[in-house]
Structure 1
Amino acid sequence: MSRDTEISYEGVEHRPLSDFTEKAYLDYSMYVILDRALPHIADGLKPVQRRIIYAMSELGLSAASKPKKSARTVGDVLGKYHPHGDTACYEAMVLMAQPFSYRYPLVDGQGNWGSADDPRSFAAMRYTEARLAAFSDLLLREADQGTVDWTANFDGSLREPELLPARVPHVLLNGTTGIAVGMATDIPPHNLREVASACIHLLDDPEADAAALTQHVRGPDYPTEAEVITPAAELHKIYTTGHGSIRARAAWRVEEGNIVIDALPHQASGARVLEQIAGQMQAKKLPMVTDLRDESDHESPVRFVIEPKSNRVDRERLMDHLFATTDLEKQYRVNLNVIGLDGRPRVKDLREMLTEWLQYRRNVVQRRLEHRLEKVRDRLHVLEGLLTAFLNIDEVIAIIREEDEPKPVLMERFGLAERQAEAILELRLRHLAKLEEMKLRGEKDELENERAELEATLASADKLTALIRSELEQDAERFGDDRRSPLVERGAARALEASEVVAAEPITVILSEKGWIRQAKGHDVDPEGLSFRAGDGFRAAAAGRSNEPAIFLDSTGRTYAIPAHELPSARGHGEPLASRVNPPDGATFTGVLMGPAESEWLLATDAGFGFRMPLGEMRSRNRSGKAVLTVPKGAEVMLPARLGDPETDRIALATSAGRLLIVPAGEIPQMTRGKGQKLVGIPPKEYQAGSERLVATATIPQGGGLTVYAGQRHLTLTGNDLAAYTAERGKRGQTLPKGFQKVKGIAAG
């Protein structure tokens, strides 16, 4: 074609690209929503599921027939009704055959159809065989009785049902999940007997609200025996609003001291659960567990045994931790989004779903009765013609023998319709016996009675309702079973704290002058005898348990908590504390504390102020610590002193001026933060070099003594000697004997 040749666009439609893409996307969205992802409220099926079930029924694969290769079924579905991928079609078929996926399986499979541990481990369709399950009869039984509309398949060569005439609200029984464009559906499975009971209640009382219906449908019923632990109030809210979430928890029991798990939540993988528990054991996060065994077999598909370390282990608390940290507890989203009878997707509550399904069911039953009534009337019409022939048998035979066209003659002579005349001409000679006439009269009487019943039922809304109710009761009795998932309200699971997980072993935490930390096993450690880095030395140490936090106090009066078991071993020099916390600029670490949360400690500054404080109040998960002690300008933080019994203990306070004051511990106020109150009467001067300071504190237990160290000498005070230095809090105290006024330290003994 020459470049100069003009291209004609005559007859070509011109549309803005934005309009075209918008319409194309909307068309695609509606296709995904209506023809792929969401179930219809009538039969609870997506198109691919409906076509699989119908194709299997057309292949004669009823529950009583011999199964055929799954590839044959998939081939028929794809070739006749559903021109899509074979893999997706087969996976949809597999899902309907898995008893751990469907509460009431629709397909009865033979071969490897996957396992609860790995639902996708099923064999290829060329290996497996399948037929319809007996439950599918509830969806298909009335399909050929004029109950549903039919439409052409994708190429117009065959007819397929638009919906299946479900005899039960299947949309709630097996549930479904699906993701469309801009919307999704998550419908949990339910118990047939409970749902049928709710439908019957709604038939008896059409004005019943959701609260009344939840007396029958108490909650989801999954294929496993795991507990549904969602509170009844939340379940009621779900069925009232159409959305929410449900929690299910594994069932367990204690057997010979061991924990036995014998039911997992729906869609929970046993292999995954074992892997999660074993991972925690290897990470030493479950020191109270000594062994984990999988004793599952054919008789017990799920049997996991957890062996605690001793009988002292709180099994309830251990399982609570596992529920919080593994798939032994799962949460399921609920979104009752379905395609309604009006062809539109919408989230419906329980009452709307059951009411709309009953409306569909009433229409199906009415169409079935009308279809049957038409058949009965047609047969009665034929029987009337046949009986007329029997009453005039000789004349009928003569007309047939003598006339070339006997049909119009018969119609004119006896007033017969063409349909009746055809039936007379098709009679065989053996049917002319007297016995046949009696059978025809008996059949006519039965059909007349049936016609009267059908007409009466169709003319009475009450009788139609009674028929629907009766059929629901029969189907629930035949196919229903007891609830599998017990409804048990339980509190939220809580993982174990680090202190609960770590074994409570005795340890000693050492703090160096440069702020390096480490921990050594046992309490018989000589912290001052350990090796330190060059230029570093011992600052403080505290004895405690590995499941307790170590509390560090800095020079600004802030405290920091670190789990003691996370500290490095004392075999090395440790690591800098500043790498784990964020102290203020220029701050140094002055002390370390350990013990029970309720233990009390004396916090003080060398300005002579302080207070008592429980150790638990000093804990903080903040890396920046917690401001506890207010340090006056120029003052320094003293080493904390642990108190025993505030009612009987005494606190010894020694100053740089050689004075000693002993006060009852109960006189020292208990506070959670601040400067504290005056402990010893130091003159109110600026805290400068050379001014009097508080240099040492010690806790004297009841009946104990006190040793004062000064240079190479020491002085031990007991009994009356201590009484001489005892006074009220805030006093100056008594001067120590000559030679002991330059106090280096004091210690209870």
Structure 2
Amino acid sequence: MDLFSSLESTRSVAEFSEQAYLNYSMYVILDRALPHISDGLKPVQRRIIYAMSEIGLSHLSKYKKSARTVGDVLGKYHPHGDSACYEAMVLMAQDFSYRYPFIDGQGNWGSIDDPKSFAAMRYTESRLSKYAVLLLDELKKGTVDWVKNFDGTMDEPKLLPAQVPNILLNGAMGIAVGMSTYIPPHNITEIINACLQLLSKPDSTIEEILEIIEAPDYPGGANIISSKEEIAEVYKSGNGSIRQQAVYEYDNHGNVVITKLPHQVSSAAVMEQIANELKQQKITWIKNIQDESDDKEPVRIVLYSATTKKNIKKIIGHLLATTDLEKSFRVNMNMIGLDNRPQVKNLLDVLKQWLEYRKNTLRRRLQTSLDKVLDRLHILEGLLIAFLNIDEVIDIIRNYDDPSDELQTRFTLSEIQAEAILNIRLRKLAKIEEIEIKKEQKELQKERELLEGYLNSEVKFRNLMKKEFKQILADFGDSRRSKVIAAEKAQALEEKDLMPSERVTIILSKAGWIRCAKGENIDPAGLSYKPEDKPFLVTTGNSNIKLVFFSKLGKAYSMYVDKLPSARGYGEHITTYIPLDKQDQIISMAFVNAAEYFLIASESGKGFVIPAEDLITNKVTGKNIFDADDVFKFIPFDQDHKMLAISSEGRIIVRDFSSFALLKKGKGKSIIRLDKKDKLKFIELFRANQELTLNAGKRFIRIDSKNIETYYSDKPSGGGVLLPQGFRKITKIDIETIESK
């Protein structure tokens, strides 16, 4: 017989794989990863809670080993791995993971620093929390459907009859196939009040609901800094993100004390992030960081300040932006709806659909109670007939082989009534009292009328829902933990803003020795130098601004001056910080904020203007700016400056800022047209209120507002003007500021 003769048909591997993967996807989505809108639970969570209730682990019972629960869950309802099951159980016990935990744990259930540091299940003990009552209290009252377990030997609830929208209260997170869910937790008081609003006014808008539900409410209690508009957009679409910010305060010594962290952020992670900033010396205004957390204060991180409160506020803003002290949480309210399909829902849809589920479970509870009342009334009617004919009933019981049929025939009883009479012992049957039967009948009639009133009147039914919601508020209502505050998203500071700012003077000697002196009234000649060495370049600026060096070969180097040696000694050679080529040398230096632009010029008469920001580089090897090997000038150049250039042969030109090419790098363009033998000798910048004196030995020429037009050119390739005979060998240029009259 052919091995495959029993197969109805054959399929290609591709077709089979496609169907198999589709089946797997649906299984993961519906049975593993996404919560159901009804009770807000995934199957493993639902089975853990149900199994614990079956063992008798209520919030009033004694604790039992967690291994007992896991064993019951795996053996009866959930045929999967024990570690995954126990981890799900641990998560439901962590008050820093769940806003309203389902499980009350005893032992090591992990910590906010390390949620997965929990002890093995053989060591921990657990029971259900009081909150779990809201999911289990109506379980045995006909409120939900039951299904067979995985091996068909016992029943388990398909869903739990949640009396509150747990899907919003505890939220959910899960990754399925092709979709995921991130539902934030909320405050029970706000959610129940929103349900009451919808019961009173079913056509309430999302805007009206948002007046009640302020925002998510995370268990850690960190502040929510998303704007009202951003939060509203998240709730209207079911998608977006919520920003959380750590809560901190200042102690009496000006130190920063962090007391609450964003959801799922650990103190250890934040400590490490801040410590890395300190190690890299990005932050100099914090001298130490210490974790002082304990049982009473689960989060207490102290940043010891080394500066003023004004500066420490800047640092906190920087840390909020660069560490997990401020964090955005994705929101994707994807869940399995009442139609058993996954869908992203907005807040209003979630509340309305859950209320439909609650109405259904409540109606089923009332109907089940009514059915029991009617069944009991039916039996009581039979018992009353038996009481009125007690002797005859006893005679039938004693003398007939089938007393049930005889009772039904003689007294027009139903089979249920006859069986109820027969189930009573003769001794007890003889003692039945009419008063007791009628008393119970009267009480049950009242209960029947009450239940039928709820079921037949929409107004009474809604009022009952409201009454029960208000009782839940009285028993479980609490205040928000996460405050919603108005705050802009934190911005990281630039490196210069993280450093102390003080005026400094940088001195570079002719032999290349560099040092840094505090202050700006420093006399370079008064400092000590090595033999045959002397001052070469001097500049002043703020210590938190980058210093730019420019070399003869057209390269720019930049660095902060905090690492430079003090001016007390000879300093250190410039090559300690800058790897200059042997044929290269520094020709100028300036703090990058000295001007918005810089002018670069070569002896061959070419140059350009470059934005200051384009000079900055983090590369130790520098940045190629000017494609030349005879750079001799690098100076700050403002837009109100004029430039005067004089060549060695006596050619002179004056140009405005606007006439220069603005480049980031390159060969430059002609500043003044020179002969091959001629070279630029001087470049000076001056303003409209300044006069220049060109010195040629003992002779001199003045350039002022009266004659400047003689030398002026706005052409990039202009050749300038040749100075008169006897004035072509300029030796010095003096600049004098003329006070306005």
Query: TM-score by structure 1 length?
Result: 0.82
Identify the residue that residue 572 of structure 1 maps to in structure 2. Answer: 573
Change (3 A) 1:389 1:669: same
Identify the residue that residue 680 of structure 1 maps to in structure 2. Answer: none
What are the Cα deviations for residues 537-580 of structure 1, in whole angstroms up to 9, with x where unaligned?
99755333331122355779x89573434887762342696889
CA contact 1:610–1:675 (8 Å) conserved in 2? no
Count the aligned residue pairs: 707
Are positions 1:155 and 2:151 aligned together? yes
CA contact 1:607–1:693 (8 Å) conserved in 2? yes
Q: What's the offset of the Cα at 1:596?
A: 4.2
User: Using the alignment, how far apart are the partners of 1:16 and 1:124 within structure 2?
Assistant: 46
User: Using the alignment, how far apart are the partners of 1:132 and 1:695 within structure 2?
Assistant: 88
Change (3 A) 1:374 1:634: closer
What are the Cα deviations for residues 392-437 of structure 1, in whole angstroms up to 9, with x where unaligned?
3344345445555543333333222222223233345675688943
Question: What are the within-5 Å matches in structure 2 for residues 119-518 of structure 1?
Answer: 119-256=115-252, 257-311=254-308, 313-401=310-398, 403=400, 405-428=402-425, 436-504=433-501
CA contact 1:660–1:736 (8 Å) conserved in 2? no
What are the Cα deviations for residues 285-337 of structure 1, in whole angstroms up to 9, with x where unaligned?
11011121222222221111112212254233211110111111122111111
**Pairing partner for 1:743 from 728, 731, 739:** 731
Change (3 A) 1:433 1:259: farther
Identify the residue that residue 583 of structure 1 maps to in structure 2. Answer: none
- Secondary structure (helix, strand or coil) at the match of 1:314 reads helix
CA contact 1:509–1:550 (8 Å) conserved in 2? no
Matched AA of 1:695: F
**Pairing partner for 1:729 from 685, 705, 708:** 708
**Pairing partner for 1:75 from 62, 71, 76:** 71
- Secondary structure (helix, strand or coil) at the match of 2:92 reads helix
Identify the residue that residue 675 of structure 2 maps to in structure 1. Answer: 688
Change (3 A) 1:373 1:246: same
- Secondary structure (helix, strand or coil) at the match of 1:334 reads strand
Identify the residue that residue 635 of structure 2 maps to in structure 1. Answer: 640
CA contact 1:656–1:743 (8 Å) conserved in 2? no
Could you tell me which runs of 5 or more consecutive residues in structure 1 were left unpaired when the two chains were aligned.
1-5, 581-585, 662-666, 677-683
Q: What's the offset of the Cα at 1:593?
A: 1.8
Q: What's the offset of the Cα at 1:11?
A: 2.5
Change (3 A) 1:379 1:150: same
Are positions 1:11 and 2:6 aligned together? yes
Matched AA of 2:308: N
CA contact 1:603–1:641 (8 Å) conserved in 2? no
User: Using the alignment, how far apart are the partners of 1:23 and 1:651 within structure 2?
Assistant: 78
Matched AA of 1:89: C
Name the Cα RMSD after superposition: 4.5
Question: What are the within-5 Å matches in structure 2 for residues 677-716 of structure 1?
Answer: 686-688=673-675, 695=682, 697=684
**Pairing partner for 1:48 from 28, 39, 44:** 44
Q: What's the offset of the Cα at 1:152?
A: 0.8
CA contact 2:640–2:657 (8 Å) conserved in 1? no
Change (3 A) 1:309 1:705: farther
Percent identity for Structure 1 against Structure 2: 43
User: Using the alignment, how far apart are the partners of 1:119 and 1:214 within structure 2?
Assistant: 32
Q: What's the offset of the Cα at 1:123?
A: 0.3
Q: What's the offset of the Cα at 1:610?
A: 11
CA contact 2:387–2:433 (8 Å) conserved in 1? no
What are the Cα deviations for residues 241-297 of structure 1, in whole angstroms up to 9, with x where unaligned?
111111111001122111111001110010111111122112211101112122222
User: Using the alignment, how far apart are the partners of 2:329 and 2:500 within structure 1?
Assistant: 35
Identify the residue that residue 89 of structure 1 maps to in structure 2. Answer: 85
Query: TM-score by structure 2 length?
Result: 0.83
Matched AA of 2:182: D
Identify the residue that residue 54 of structure 2 maps to in structure 1. Answer: 58
Q: What's the offset of the Cα at 1:592?
A: 2.2
Matched AA of 2:708: R
Change (3 A) 1:362 1:688: same
User: Using the alignment, how far apart are the partners of 1:489 and 1:342 within structure 2?
Assistant: 39
Change (3 A) 1:355 1:646: closer
Matched AA of 2:50: Y
Which of 725-734 and 178-187 deviates more?
Answer: 725-734
Matched AA of 2:674: Y
User: Using the alignment, how far apart are the partners of 1:89 and 1:22 within structure 2?
Assistant: 29
**Pairing partner for 2:548 from 546, 551, 559:** 551
User: Using the alignment, how far apart are the partners of 1:724 and 1:19 within structure 2?
Assistant: 91
User: Using the alignment, how far apart are the partners of 1:685 and 1:659 within structure 2?
Assistant: 9
User: Using the alignment, how far apart are the partners of 1:520 and 1:396 within structure 2?
Assistant: 117
User: Using the alignment, how far apart are the partners of 1:32 and 1:517 within structure 2?
Assistant: 69
User: Using the alignment, how far apart are the partners of 2:660 and 2:617 within structure 1?
Assistant: 17
Q: What's the offset of the Cα at 1:216?
A: 2.0
Which of 696-705 and 84-93 deviates more?
Answer: 696-705
What are the Cα deviations for residues 614-663 of structure 1, in whole angstroms up to 9, with x where unaligned?
98577556989798x9x9x99976452789x999xx999877578999xx
User: Using the alignment, how far apart are the partners of 2:589 and 2:703 within structure 1?
Assistant: 32
Identify the residue that residue 98 of structure 1 maps to in structure 2. Answer: 94
Change (3 A) 1:519 1:205: farther
Could you tell me which runs of 5 or more consecutive residues in structure 2 were left unpaired when the two chains were aligned.
566-570, 664-670, 712-720
CA contact 2:504–2:541 (8 Å) conserved in 1? yes
- Secondary structure (helix, strand or coil) at the match of 2:242 reads strand
CA contact 2:696–2:729 (8 Å) conserved in 1? no
CA contact 1:595–1:615 (8 Å) conserved in 2? no
Q: What's the offset of the Cα at 1:460?
A: 2.2
Matched AA of 2:312: R
Identify the residue that residue 679 of structure 1 maps to in structure 2. Answer: none
What are the Cα deviations for residues 120-151 of structure 1, in whole angstroms up to 9, with x where unaligned?
00000000000000101111111111111111
Q: What's the offset of the Cα at 1:730?
A: 4.4
Q: What's the offset of the Cα at 1:99?
A: 0.3
User: Using the alignment, how far apart are the partners of 2:23 and 2:322 within structure 1?
Assistant: 44
User: Using the alignment, how far apart are the partners of 1:281 and 1:101 within structure 2?
Assistant: 30
Which of 544-553 and 31-40 deviates more?
Answer: 544-553
Identify the residue that residue 38 of structure 1 maps to in structure 2. Answer: 34
Matched AA of 1:180: A
**Pairing partner for 1:25 from 14, 21, 25:** 21
- Secondary structure (helix, strand or coil) at the match of 1:160 reads strand
CA contact 2:599–2:635 (8 Å) conserved in 1? yes
User: Using the alignment, how far apart are the partners of 1:45 and 1:452 within structure 2?
Assistant: 36
CA contact 1:152–1:160 (8 Å) conserved in 2? yes
Matched AA of 2:217: D
What are the Cα deviations for residues 48-72 of structure 1, in whole angstroms up to 9, with x where unaligned?
1000000000000001000100000
